[in-house]
Amino acid sequence: MADPYQNNVYHQGGGDPYGTYGEGGDQEGYGYQGESYPQEEDAASDATEGHDDEDQMYEGEYQGIPHPDEVKAAQRAARAKARQAQAGATELDELAEQYEDIMEDCGHGRFQWTLFIVLGLALMADGVECFVVGFVLPSAEKDMCLSNGEKGMLGLIVFLGMMVGAFIWGGMADKLGRRKCLIWALTINCVFTFLSSFAQGYGFFLFFRLISGIGIGGSVPIVYSYFSEFLQMDKRGEHLSWLCMFWMVGGIYASFTAWGIIPHYGWGFSMGTEFQFHSWRVFVLVCALPAITSLVGLMFMPESPRFLLENAKHDEAWMILKNVHDTNWRAKGQPEKVFQVTHIKAPKTQEDEFIEIQSATGTAIQRWAVRTLTLCKLVLKNVASLLGPELRLSTLFMAIIWFTMAFSYYGLGVWFPDMIKYLQQEEYESKVKVFHRERVEHFHFNFSLENQIHREGEYINDKFINIQMKSVKFEDSLFEDCYFEDIESTETMFENCTIRSTVFYNTDLYEERFIDCRLENTTFLHNKKGCHLDIDEENDVLIYLVSFLGSLAVLPGNIISALFMEKIGRVKIIGLSMLISAGCTFFLFLSFSQAAIIAWQCLFCGVSVAAWNGIEVITVELYPASKRATAFGVLNALCKLAAILGTSIFASFVGVTKVVPILLSCTALVCGGLVALKLPETQEKILQ
């Protein structure tokens, strides 16, 4: 019997700039030998030898239901007819049609689900990265003695790194490959996350988190571009929406691990006073696990065949497509199905030829310099092409939608928990105990002081030993012949006080805690070094609970958008979700309690995720393969810029007014939703 794969040999003519497989270069499209076409004898599989197709009858035939293969053949014929009607159809358009037909033959099965898990973990790592700093900040600010300005910079540095990373990795993925760039990006993230957990100084910690953010910034643009190129048209919207769910899983994972690890202060270790490894650093290490797992999985995944075909690597693309086909059909119990593609056209671009010419000359350093310079030029050229005549309007609309959505989503994401903390602080301060003109002599304070204000008091020959002071303020008071030892304090101040002949031994009551005070014959001995963790404040469950509920609320919206993405369409889902989200923010005017704010946060997150799903799906579908990751990277970088602006602006109004944040977010969402309705629908569009 003839070899069933003898027609799949790769051939490329010397003068033909397009690579083809097999014979039949005069055929239109690609050489497809399916069940609805005449099949050559030597194309039969050994597994099907002696099998009579007529012995089996499709069970829906009696009911007049067409066979799926017949439906598929009719769809292909319609696409071929439409292509013939287009006088200006290019080779890339033909490749898009061919590739869609091939993916339909490969089916959706085990390979796509395996890739779904691997890429989902990379997306999960991106979600975790957005939550890490927020969870560790209450501990890190005391461990590193951070000022308010340093805390703010630490909160923004991750978004800054992700913004740079999205732009760089998105552009490189279109030139070097999706899989290769994603592996590099995740590797950088893992390495610098590990280093940041051991960094003792603020400067090093800030730098390592920046580089870690640059690494993980590439995950979103690459993951969606990569996965979409293994999906057929009727599966694309739904399964890309399911993929979005991993970002929610990342938030839940971060919330649970933070809740389970950070409060256990004793889980760390120390080496003298110079090196401290507290529990929050253990949490930072654990947050790298999704990225590490995804990195390991990527080692067993292939490059995108669509990228390879765009870059004239025909043999590699053919082998990958054959492997996808065989993997899926073996898993479905039909190993006899043979991958019967024999002819694929794919252009070889001038950009690739330029790189090949330069790589053959000069020393290794010169070749590296030329390649790097060429790569930068090609990436920037690709970015500039997004504003070309064909893509200018789509890019402008998408930029507005990404910016307005991110500005509101991330801004409110900071405003919700900060507002809850502010309400908690108001409630806490309302319970403050005020002591006026008290006189205490020869007394031993061996109990903690909390949430108290002492005005015009007199403390003569008193001892304050081994106690904690939290939110304690002494105003216009006198301390004479007193002794303070082993004091740990939080938000404790002495204002306009007179302190005479008093000793402070092994305390954290530094001189800056004494505002406009007169210190007479006062001694500070062996002050505590560094800042010390406030265990009660660190164990505030509400910090983790709010984040967990916000992430969990995404689940219903994710499921609904995934199920209806192909039925309703991307444009309607984006527009309606953004407008409904605007309505949710408007009702925040009626929220005056913590419970109400948490409820509206959950509703907002649940609705807005549908808009995010639609935005990410339509971004993939609007741009051709050669610009897909670049466009996604640029738009995602704009998203992170909006996040930086949103978090900074919204946080500044906490405790001042809630009118401005609500009006800003509501206006942005309405504008973005109305612009979204002007986008072209890509529901039945072949991936270009």
| Domain parsing of the chain, residue ranges | 348-382, 432-525
Is residue 33 a contact partner of residue 367, using CB atoms and an 8 Å limit?
A: no
pLDDT reported for residue 351: 47
Residue carrying the six token digits 């009607």: 85
Q: Is the four-CA dihedral 295, 299, 305, 308 of positive or negative sign?
A: positive
Least confident of 468-477, 634-643, 675-684: 675-684
pTM: 0.79
- CATH 3.40.50.1110 for domain 432-525, yes or no, is no
The pLDDT of residue 36 is above 80 = no
- DSSP letters along 294-354, please? HHHHHTTSPPPHHHHHHTT-HHHHHHHHHHHHHHHHHHTT-TT----B----EE--HHHHH
Out of 66-80, 228-242, 392-406, 578-592, pick the least confident: 66-80
CA within 13 Å, CB half, 1: 13
| Contact status, residue 211 vs residue 192, Cβ threshold 8 Å | yes
Alpha-carbon distances, residue 464 vs 34, 175, 456, 488, 508 (angstroms) = 88, 67, 18, 11, 13
pLDDT in tens, 42-69: 443 343 343 444 444 444 444 455 555 5
pLDDT digits (tens, 9 = 90+) for 442-500: 999 888 888 899 999 999 999 999 888 888 999 999 999 999 998 888 888 999 999 99
What was the pLDDT predicted at 264? 67
Average pLDDT of the segment spanning 622-629: 89
pLDDT at 580 over 60: yes
What's the rounded Cα separation, in Å, for the pair 434 and 424? Answer: 19
Q: What is the mean pLDDT of residues 642-651?
A: 88
Q: How many angstroms separate the Cα of 533 from the Cα of each of 145, 182, 202?
A: 10, 37, 16
